[in-house]
Amino acid sequence: MIDIRLLRESPDLFREGSRKKRLPADVDAVLEADGRIRELKAEVEALRSKRNALSKSVGRLPPVEREAVLAESRALGAELETREPALRELEERLTALLLTIPNLPDASVPEGAGEDENQEIRRWGTPRVFEFEPLDHYDLALKLDIADFLRGSKVSGSRFVYLKGAGVLLDQAVLRLALDTVSARGFVPMLVPELVRDEAMTGTGYFPLGREDAYALERDELYLIGTSEVSLVAHHSDEILTLDELPKRYVGLSSCYRREAGAAGRDTRGFYRVHQFRKVEQVVICENEPGVVQAEHDGLLANSEAVVQALHLPHRVALACTGELGMGQVLKHEVETWMPGRQAYSETHSCSTLGEFQARRLNIRYRDRDGKVRFCATLNNTAIATPRILIPILETYQEADGSVRVPEALKPYVSGLDRIVPPA
């Protein structure tokens, strides 16, 4: 949620921020509701004050005057009974409107509509040149018998898949590699609730926009998370943290679920965009100071790059343009890993700074060095997501005989398995 005081002072900032992000926002409706609330609050407070003064004076009045004063007090009470519900209704409307106002993008973010306008920052590694005709991950997975897409669709619908055999070993190996890498850098490992309340989804900015992408258990009023970020950040809702406690650095492991209702095309083939996946997610809650936040952002990004480099997968880092930023994101870098089957660098990691956006929604605060209570800043970044990361692993490490070599970094997690070979 954004700061209503800043919006009052600089509404054009939010109009422009909304335009840059390509996200709808009715700033005028917010200002209108806010203005009416302030007017109505003043009226309600004046009525309450007058009624209280009359109530206090009744005992000092002679009996002959009391009835008139009591009658006036009752009239004021009746007026309040009309205006107080109207005020509550307006306040609820304002809260709902504020939840739809995007956070402002950082000044360093390039303006653009989509991923083609992201700015490349750096590259690591060189894509492999094959001396044979390589297969894409979908055909490799079938040939190696490590995935069953057909039965996944039969049992659960499109974009669900069974992993099997060495596919399971690879899946769990990349999760452990990421978890071990990040936890060794001081992050606390967490297994999190994967069913959360509306407040957690709204508080982290996934609701109200994006509600259509979440799986809901309507009878229980719970939602399946699309990232452990939701559970990790909401973990500290309604708390005031001390400076000694900050930063909070967590690395969460969970299954994740997303409808991704609007996704279509080649992204729906194979592992790239499935509805159920597993992810190791990094989350930081820290002081809301620019230097501190930037250092945490850089650290998160370095952790992700370390994991991809351990796998020796060529990749690049790109600064996301405004049209690629979500509701709460101030700044985002993407790690895009080379996928031979797509002949492209494609997103595998996303590193985001959200400022105080989530902390305001969830009421996560801290006492600064002067003892002032302030909202924290929050950040998050993928450490690894699977099965998507299996795409570049399978495609990059394939051999002419149809086998796939296991990356050295994963061998300790797969009992020394050297390569995956097609069944006889």
Q: Is 60 a catalytic residue?
A: no
Q: What is the pLDDT of residue 60?
A: 65
State yes or no: pLDDT of 56 exceeds 80.
no
**Are 289 and 320 within one domain?**
yes
Q: Is 123 a catalytic residue?
A: no
Choose the final residue of a domain: 72, 98, 124: 98
**Are 14 and 137 within one domain?**
no
Q: Is the residue at 76 inside a domain? A: yes
State yes or no: pLDDT of 93 exceeds 60.
yes
**Are 214 and 304 within one domain?**
yes
**Are 301 and 183 within one domain?**
yes
* Catalytic residue from among 36, 211, 273, 367: 273
Mean pLDDT of 184-193: 98
Per residue in 103-147, pLDDT (tens digit) is 999 999 999 999 999 999 999 999 999 999 999 999 999 999 999
**Are 83 and 128 within one domain?**
no
**Are 88 and 125 within one domain?**
no
Report yes or no: 361 and 204 within 8 Å, Cβ to Cβ.
yes
Choose the final residue of a domain: 70, 98, 126: 98
Q: What is the pLDDT of residue 147?
A: 97
Q: Is the residue at 394 inside a domain? A: yes
**Are 66 and 152 within one domain?**
no
* Residue 2 binned pLDDT confidence (cut-offs 50, 70, 90): confident
pTM for the whole structure = 0.90
State yes or no: pLDDT of 262 exceeds 60.
no
Q: Is 388 a catalytic residue?
A: yes
* Catalytic residue from among 51, 159, 258, 365: 258
Per residue in 337-361, pLDDT (tens digit) is 999 999 999 999 999 999 999 999 9
Q: Is the residue at 107 inside a domain? A: no
Distance CA(112)–CA(321), nearest Å, equals 5
**Are 130 and 27 within one domain?**
no
Q: Is 350 a catalytic residue?
A: yes
Nearest alpha carbon to residue 256 among 367, 385, 152, 352: 385
Region class of 372: left (phi > 0), else alpha (psi between -120 and 50), else beta: beta
Angle at 392 between CA 390 and CA 395, to 5 degrees: 100
Residues 327-341 as b/e (b if ≥16 CB within 10 A, e otherwise) read bbbbbbbbbbbbbbb
Q: Number of structural domains, the chain?
A: 2
**Are 42 and 189 within one domain?**
no
Choose the final residue of a domain: 41, 73, 98: 98
Mean pLDDT of 307-336: 97
* Catalytic residue from among 350, 352, 356, 365: 350
Domain region containing 366: 115-420
Output the domain CATH number for residue 142: 3.30.930.10
Q: What is the pLDDT of residue 244?
A: 94
Q: Is the residue at 405 inside a domain? A: yes
**Are 316 and 262 within one domain?**
yes
**Are 143 and 286 within one domain?**
yes
- Which stretches within 157-264 are classed as H helix? 166-183, 198-203, 229-234
Beta bridge partners of 374: 366
Q: What is the pLDDT of residue 52?
A: 66
* Catalytic residue from among 51, 249, 361, 388: 388
**Are 48 and 84 within one domain?**
yes
| 370 backbone dihedrals φ, ψ, rounded to 5° | -95, 5
Per residue in 14-43, pLDDT (tens digit) is 999 999 999 999 999 999 999 999 988 888
Q: What is the pLDDT of residue 70?
A: 61
Q: Is the residue at 237 inside a domain? A: yes
Output the domain CATH number for residue 28: 1.10.287.40
Nearest alpha carbon to residue 38 among 68, 4, 15: 4
* Residue 214 binned pLDDT confidence (cut-offs 50, 70, 90): very high
* Residue 387 binned pLDDT confidence (cut-offs 50, 70, 90): very high
Q: Is the residue at 355 inside a domain? A: yes
* Residue 66 binned pLDDT confidence (cut-offs 50, 70, 90): low
* Catalytic residue from among 296, 334, 336, 347: 347
Q: Is the residue at 281 inside a domain? A: yes
Q: Is the residue at 106 inside a domain? A: no
Distance CA(304)–CA(306), nearest Å, equals 5
Please count the other Cβ atoms lying within 10 Å of the Cβ belonging to residue 37: 17
Q: Is 228 a catalytic residue?
A: no
Region class of 221: left (phi > 0), else alpha (psi between -120 and 50), else beta: left
Per residue in 143-176, pLDDT (tens digit) is 999 999 999 999 999 999 999 999 999 999 999 9
